[in-house]
Chains A and B, each alone.
Chain A
């Protein structure tokens, strides 16, 4: 078993808001992140998969194939988008770094041939990032 990590970047806008709360409560809890005009980040996504090395190719997974899966399932949906308005999962959940990591896991889980999704790491900034290991972890 070996772990393989692939990075991908996307840039997107978001804001934090809970419709069930008053405006004052949203500002109290979320601070400047509650600005409804939105703000943005350059996100870095790290996807780690676990698998065995194929004796013929020497690969765990074909990196090009993994890159294409990340592009199709995540980057093409998230990049240069407003997460709250344009990405379906965030019409019902707040696009925090934690929720983005969970959402990306759900988008990728079961879609990577010959390997098991091990970890999704999302950097909102170099000093802030979230990890998700799936429901079992």
Chain B
């Protein structure tokens, strides 16, 4: 049996967002979201760290070819999210673009990558906060 390894790759994008829920009053929005509710929005340099597992291919020595993964990330993530206003994206039309929700959306995107199994999405919003998502119903791992 071939060994199973986990491959981790980090992608960087810059985007703006505003945390706001139409169903709440303006006062309640300010109360819940604080400065993140600023009507003009604000931005972050996000880091998306993706983890894929799979058997190490005997011929290539790889879990998946990085060129394939990078091309997929460019097309499905960076071309859409980089230098965008997250609130204007289709996926956030009815969902507040918190980093938690961004993590779920990135899971939905990278889950479609055909050549390896997605194990974790980590999104770093700033150097001080990051969010991990392991997929619906998956056990949470509290390690770095």
Q: Is the CB of B61 within 8 A of A3?
A: no
* Chain B positions within 8 Å of A102 at CB level: 3, 5, 56
Knowing A3-B143, A126-B10 are in contact, say whether A137-B60 is a contact too (CB < 8 A): no
* Chain B positions within 8 Å of A93 at CB level: 61
Q: Is the CB of A99 within 8 A of B61?
A: yes
* Assembled-state Cα–Cα distance A94/B5 (Å): 14
Interface status of B6 (Cβ within 8 A of chain A): yes
* Chain A positions within 8 Å of B66 at CB level: 128
Q: Give min CB distance, B64 to chain A, whole Å.
A: 9
* Assembled-state Cα–Cα distance A20/B57 (Å): 14
* Chain B positions within 8 Å of A133 at CB level: 6
Partner of B8, one of A16, A99, A129: A129
Q: Is the CB of A94 within 8 A of B8?
A: no
Interface size of A as a range: 20 to 34
* Assembled-state Cα–Cα distance A81/B51 (Å): 29
* Assembled-state Cα–Cα distance A134/B86 (Å): 39
Q: Is the CB of B59 within 8 A of A18?
A: yes
* Assembled-state Cα–Cα distance A127/B124 (Å): 13
Knowing A102-B56, A128-B66 are in contact, say whether A94-B6 is a contact too (CB < 8 A): no
* Assembled-state Cα–Cα distance A21/B143 (Å): 39
Partner of B56, one of A21, A31, A98, A129: A98
Q: Is the CB of B61 within 8 A of A94?
A: yes
* Chain B positions within 8 Å of A98 at CB level: 5, 7, 56, 61-63
* Chain A positions within 8 Å of B61 at CB level: 16, 93-96, 98-99
* Chain A positions within 8 Å of B44 at CB level: none
Interface status of A130 (Cβ within 8 A of chain B): yes
Q: Is the CB of A29 within 8 A of B65?
A: yes
Q: What would 20 A/B residue contacts be, using CB atoms closer than 8 Å? A: A16-B60, A16-B61, A18-B60, A21-B59, A29-B60, A30-B60, A96-B60, A96-B61, A98-B5, A98-B61, A102-B3, A102-B56, A119-B143, A126-B10, A127-B11, A128-B9, A128-B66, A130-B6, A132-B5, A132-B6
Q: Which 9 A-B pairs have the closest CB atoms?
A: A94-B61, A96-B61, A131-B6, A127-B10, A98-B5, A99-B61, A102-B3, A98-B56, A129-B8
